[in-house]
Amino acid sequence: MNLNELTIKQAYEGLKNKEFTSVELTKACLNRIKERNKDINAFISVFEESALAEAKKADEMISSGKQQMLTGIPFSVKDAIDTLDLRSTGAAKILDNYVPPFESTVISKIRAQGAVLLGKNNCDAFGHGASNENSMYGPVANPHDLTKVAGGSSGGSSAAVADHQCIFAIAEDTGGSIRQPASFCGIVGLRPSYGRNSRYGIMPMASSLDTVGPMTKTVEDIAILMEVIAGSDEKDATTVPDEVPEYTKNLNKKEKFVIGLPQEYFETDGMHEETRKLVENKIEKIKAHTELEVEFKPVSLPYTKYGIPVYYIIVPSEDSSNLGRIDGVRYGMRSKEAKDLYNIYAKSRGEGFPEEVKRRIMVGTYSLSSGYYDAYYSKAQKVRTLIIEDFNQAFAQVDLLITPTSPFTAFDMNGKINDLMAMYLADVFVSPSAVAGLPGISIPVGNDSKNLPVGMQIIAPRLGEEKLLNFASLVENV
Amino acid sequence: MKLEKEEIKQISTLSRLEIEEEKQEMYSDQLSTVFGYIKMLEEVDTEGVKETTQVTGLEDVVREDIVIASSEEKRQKLIALFPEKSGDLLKVDAVFDNSTEE
């Protein structure tokens, strides 16, 4: 096995037992990136020099007995998350030369343990998209089939993990941006509960939905990372004060589960038969597994189909105001064509944002404008309440919900980019829980006949990550 | 529902986004599609339903208003990010000399 193919846990053990050094591990990842980036395009920036310096420092920490869980482990970060003194573009040309003088809290926590930051992952610009084709740095190819998309918006992160270009990645999920690409690339990805992890230092998209979470090769690695990154932060007033559980201690623990199967998630239009079959087969295997105490119950979430329309009002609305700060005035690119203040804004933004970003800003501006607010934003916020009540009713009867992560597997490059609604509907199973602020994980359940991975989503009540991760760890290899 | 090109012009001006003339038709079609789809929310009865504006239930999260000084190093980093500058000052065009706006 090559070093870059290790999990966090394996790499930790190997470093601890002096089987290899962090420098060797980091070089293995950097070599893999060099070999593959021209085909997959998972990285916008690679920080070879600083990564090797960090690895050397990590090796010193390890030899002086100061190893922590993530010391010396190479990882990558979605480019819409700020990293101190390291270029962060958000995959938009307007921030092509942007070097943040501050850092995301989540990334600081990871780097404080001595983890090695390899580089920044490609994504849909500012997280806007479901295929990673809205990046101004080119699309990301799926490592399982280079003619297919990697999913989005965190497609660079999912491809980098699946292709072993890093040991783990940190990304952001507003309406499915971790779970959907995780399913397309056959890896594990967790959207935490809203408020569980600090949003400080991420390029804000929809502030009432944004979350930061891990993308890994195993459920155990997710638990390891959540113990490090979760918790309240005085720099993000929406983080919750609840104590962070010891997620790793609670893995593979015998526990009784009642699992809900929401019918709306198994019989939607455009669902691939093979995708549904693979998820149902996994459920059958769980049922047949005698060591597991699991009861399945059919449940109904009747407002599911309104998840996407609610999402496409709330998100562009919040997007349009959040992106107001990126205007070519104080940082980022300022258009050379601009001759007055209005045009500094309009031309810099016109040149520096891709089409999907402009679409969302205009949809949001329109939804929030006087006379339309009640019909759109206010209406969406009310339907959002009904979607939350749907989940509350389901969770009164069951502990967790199981659904497919996506109705289909990775689609062709350019396959949906010109059909806006088809692209938006790719998030049909991941946006309702995001709108409700719930945690959800996608785990791989096998490949279809074209050898493309299928993911299964497990959704928990708010702050139910402990039970969610335990269940996921128990069924991961069933 | 159809958003005409004139409306796209109006929205893009409000949004401070320059949209090329030849792209306006495309945005007009796409935004019309999006709002046409969103219209399905009208069928939902929301009589008496409260808006959800946040999901954590946290209220009045406050902290002391303390000034934390920025280091000279950080100040220099911020200045380095200015797209145009005059010495240590950010350079922008005059705010009240804006003839392109209606």
Active site residue A232: no
Cβ of A195 within 8 Å of Cβ of B58? The answer is: yes
Among A321, A348, A327, residue whose Cα is nearest residue A337:
A348
Report whether the peptide linkage leading into residue A153 is cis, meaning its omega lies within 30 degrees of zero: yes
Which is catalytic among the residues A22, A104, A131, A177?
A177
CA angle centred on A171, ends A148 and B54, rounded to 5°:
115
Identify which of B19, B77, B93 has the shortest CB distance to residue A340.
B93
DSSP label at A236? B
Return the pLDDT at B94.
83
Q: What is the mean pLDDT of residues A233-244?
A: 96
- How close A298 comes to chain B (CA, Å)? 24
Q: What is the pTM of this model?
A: 0.97
Q: Is position A177 annotated as part of the catalytic site?
A: yes
Q: Which of chain B's residues have a Cβ under 8 Å away from the Cβ of A334? A: 83-84
Sheet holding A453-459, edge to edge: A43-46, A116-121, A74-78, A168-173, A211-216, A188-191, A440-447, A453-459, A400-404, A256-262, A293-299
pLDDT number for residue A420: 87
Using an 8 Å CB-CB cutoff, list chain A residues near B2. Answer: none
Number of CB atoms found within 10 A of residue A465's CB: 26
What distance in Å separates residue A399's CA from the closest CA in chain B?
19
Catalytic residue among A88, A131, A135, A153: A153
**Domain residue ranges of chain B, discontinuous segments joined by +:** 5-43
Place of tokens 């280091």: B71
Complex confidence, ipTM: 0.92
The pLDDT assigned to B100 comes to 59
**Domains of chain A with bracketed CATH:** 3-250 (3.90.1300.10)
Beta bridge partners of A75: A117, A168
The tens digit of pLDDT for each residue in A408-422 reads 999 999 988 888 888
Residue in B17, B35, B90 closest to A346 by CB: B17
Condensed to tens digits (0 to 9), the pLDDT of residues B7-62 reads 999 999 999 999 999 999 999 999 999 999 999 999 999 999 999 999 999 999 98
Task: Please indicate whether, in this complex, the C-beta atoms of B51 and A384 are within 8 angstroms of each other.
Answer: yes
Pairs of CB atoms within 8 A across A/B: 176
A442 is known as an active-site residue: no
Burial of A69 (0-12, 13-18, 19+ CB in 10 A): middle
pLDDT digits (tens, 9 = 90+) for A158-174: 999 999 999 999 999 99
Comparing CB atoms, the residue among A361, A380, A421 nearest residue B15 is: A361
